[in-house]
């Protein structure tokens, strides 16, 4: 099952981008034997400045048919890392070909897109800058693969 972060906005080269690339590379390598990966980021830009509805349309067009859709939202479900790993493993075992994780623009995701998601997921009640949300999500994808692989990376 492919793992794809689809985000509004582009990251410039720098420490956050390096971390994302590193964690997604690790996720792909660790997950390869488990049927998870590759892991990647797709960046989209609303060049016309149409706000959340326009961003939602860009995101919808980027979602592959049949993909599991996870919307990152501060009002979403709080989930411990092992539960997140098990959810990914269950989707993989159901034969889902791809899981996409949506990160909206500065104002978040459009309510219509949130309503369409298979899962709304939160990193907590605090709002995080989008670049850090991408880093944290990339790390959690790697952690999920490590948990499913039984490696010692995740400690309880």
pLDDT in tens, 84-93: 999 999 999 9
pTM of the model: 0.95
pLDDT in tens, 4-28: 999 999 988 889 999 999 999 999 9
Q: Which residues neighbour 37 within 8 Å (Cβ) at sequence distance 6 or greater?
A: 1, 2, 3, 27, 28, 29, 31, 145
Distance (Å, rounded) from C-alpha 42 to C-alpha 2? 13
The two structure tokens encoding residue 139: 């790390």
The residue count for the chain: 156
Domains of the chain as residue ranges with CATH:
2-149 (3.40.1280.10)
């Amino acid at each position: 099952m492919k793992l794809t972060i689809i985000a509004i906005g582009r990251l410039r080269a720098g420490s956050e981008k390096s971390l994302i690339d590193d964690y997604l590379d690790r996720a792909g390598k660790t997950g390869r034997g488990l049927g998870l990966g590759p892991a990647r980021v797709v960046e989209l830009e609303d060049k016309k400045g149409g706000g959340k509805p326009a961003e939602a349309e860009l995101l919808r067009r980027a979602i592959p048919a049949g993909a599991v859709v996870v919307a990152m939202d501060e009002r979403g479900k709080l989930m411990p890392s092992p539960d997140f790993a098990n959810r990914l493993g269950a989707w993989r075992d159901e034969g889902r070909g791809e899981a996409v994780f949506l990160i909206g623009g500065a104002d978040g995701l459009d309510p219509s897109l949130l309503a369409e998601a298979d899962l709304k997921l939160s990193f907590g009640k605090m709002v995080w800058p989008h670049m850090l949300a991408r880093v944290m999500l990339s790390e959690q994808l790697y952690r999920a693969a490590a948990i499913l692989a039984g490696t010692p990376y995740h400690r309880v």
